[in-house]
Amino acid sequence: MRAIDLFAGFGGMTEGATQAGARVVWAANHWALAVDVHAANHPDTAHACQDLRQADWSRLPRFDLLLAAPACQGHSEAAQPARASSEDVRKRHDGMRSTAWAVVDCADVCEPRALVVENVPEFREWRLYPEWRAALERIGFRMTEHIVVAADHGVPQLRERLFIVGTRRRPFGLPLSAQGRPAFGPCIEWDAGAWRPTHAASPGARERISAAQTRLGPRCLVQHTTGHRGVPLHEPIRTVTTKDQWIVVDGPRYRPLTLREYARAMGFPDRYTWPASASRSDVVKGLGNAVAPPVARDLVRAICEAA
Ligand SMILES: C[S@@+](CC[C@H](N)C(=O)[O-])C[C@H]1O[C@@H](n2cnc3c(N)ncnc32)[C@H](O)[C@@H]1O
């Protein structure tokens, strides 16, 4: 099956689709670093670095499956219009939400056989969501919604995301995954990274580390900047976001997750690369924004089998 990937980011969706046997022929994003990372890991895909709200869909190569993960920032609970803190923030979030219409435009022009759209579960609370979904139905898709927990697909992370699938003939049913939820512990590179003594952490972080160790034992995962209670290593890590907030604690020492550990938390294979010159915060952002590849793999495989 030939696919394209809109809002392709670092390529989690492409990676999963490729593992499922699809050929991703075109991928686009407006962030140059994301396009570079995608191109380095998926050299056979054609790439475009552009604002997809202004794409000319008639110029795309032929494809069957439309993959898309439009911007989610405007859909998180804190970003709903009534709660946005200022007019500027509201307008920025409106602009981000509008990226979802690129999926409708592209599907209207290119008429793929199927589509997969990923977003946060709050996407369905968007006041235009009924119209957005109805537009895709009008184009001829049978739409289904799936809340998927990445850990159920072999990813060592409890990450809940919404996947909306559009198929032509009959509604899509996602087969239940029989896999157990993997622990994050085996992902940790104990010999890597810059460890620091816990007594050198900020007072707030020290307090959180000590509370987590009392509850979970000497080795655990902690978010050093939030009120999260921490995670034992025999469980999946909790949601990885675009913020660099997870630390590994090992008795009297701690350090931030390594970038490889962040990538493993998302389910990227260890061969996945990013430029050494990229800033840590950009890589964390690209990884935290990604679709977990094993989830995309299982979805695309099921779509290919059903099609
Ligand atoms: C949820 S992330 C996509 C993750 C990606 N599918 C993956 O699996 O790695 C959304 C992406 O959309 C990009 N983006 C946001 N607005 C855009 C726009 N107007 N045009 C193109 N890309 C945009 C962001 O840079 C970000 O990489």
Q: Give the pLDDT of residue 73.
A: 80
What span, in angstroms and rounded, lies between the C-alpha atoms of 304 and 96? 30
The residue whose CA has the least distance to atom 2 of ligand 1 is 289
**In this structure, how many other beta carbons lie within 10 angstroms of the beta carbon of residue 167?**
20
Question: For the chain, first and last CA: distance in Å?
Answer: 10
| C-alpha torsion sign, points 179, 22, 4, 115 | negative
Averaged over successive runs of 10 residues, the pLDDT of the chain (307 residues) comes to 98 98 98 98 98 95 98 69 65 79 98 97 95 98 96 96 94 80 97 96 92 96 86 97 95 97 98 98 98 97 88
Helix axis angle, 259-266 to 280-288, nearest 10°: 10
Angle between helices 32-41 and 280-288 (to 10 degrees): 70
The finding on whether 290 has its CB within 6 A of some atom of ligand 1 is: yes
pLDDT of residue 267: 98
Q: Which of 4, 7, 117, 299 to mutate to test the pocket of ligand 1 (most atoms within 8 A of CB)?
A: 7
Q: Is the CB of 52 under 6 A from ligand 1?
A: yes
> Using a 6 Å cutoff on CB, does residue 8 contact ligand 1?
yes
162 lines ligand 1 (CB under 6 A): no
pTM exceeding 0.85: yes
The pLDDT, as a whole number, for residue 81 is 54
Report the pLDDT value the prediction gives residue 82, as an integer from 0 to 100.
Answer: 57
Return the ligand 1 atom nearest residue 99 CA.
19
Name the residue with the closest Cα to ligand 1, atom 7.
290
Residue-level pLDDT at 302: 94
Please tell me the residue having the least CA distance from ligand 1 atom 11: 7
The residue whose C-alpha atom lies closest to atom 27 belonging to ligand 1 is 9
How far, in Å, from the CA of 31 to the mean position of ligand 1?
A: 8
Ligand 1 within 6 A of CB of 95: no
Q: Tell me, what's the pLDDT at 281?
A: 97
Atom of ligand 1 nearest to the CA of 72: 1
Q: What is the 3-state secondary structure (H, E, C) of the chain?
A: CEEEEECCCCCHHHHHHHHCCCEEEEEEECCHHHHHHHHHHCCCCEEEECCHHHCCHHHCCCCCEEEECCCCHHHCHHHCHHHCCCHHHHHHHHHHHHHHHHHHHHHHHHCCCEEEEEECHHHHHCCCHHHHHHHHHHHCCEEEEEEEEHHHHCCCEECEEEEEEEECCCCCCCCCCCCCCCCCHHHCCCCCCCCEEHHHCCHHHHHHHHHHHHHHCCEEEEECCCCCCCEECCCCEECCCCCCCEEEEECCEEEECCHHHHHHHHCCCCCCCCCCCCCHHHHHHHHHCCCCHHHHHHHHHHHHHHC
- Phi, psi (degrees; rounded to nearest 5) at 245: -120, 0
- Verify whether ligand 1 is closer than 6 Å to residue 99 (CB atom): yes
If you count them, how many residues does the chain have?
Answer: 307
**Ligand 1: does its nearest atom lie under 6 Å from the Cβ of 69?**
yes
Protein residue with least CA distance to atom 18, ligand 1: 51
CA distance 125 to 89: 18
Return the closest-CA partner of residue 171 out of 66, 304, 306, 69.
306
Q: Could you identify the atom of ligand 1 that is nearest to the CA of residue 15?
A: 8
Q: Is 41 in the pocket of ligand 1 (CB under 6 A)?
A: no
How far away, in angstroms, is 69 Cα from ligand 1 center?
6
Domains contained in the chain, CATH given: 2-176+292-306 (3.40.50.150), 190-257 (no CATH)
C-alpha 59, offset from chain centre? 27
pLDDT for the residue numbered 277 = 97
Give residue 194 CA to ligand 1 midpoint distance, Å.
31
Bridge pairing between strands 46-49 and 23-29: parallel
Backbone φ and ψ for 21, nearest 5 degrees, come out as 100, 0
Going from the Cα of 96 to the center of ligand 1, the distance in angstroms, rounded, reads: 10
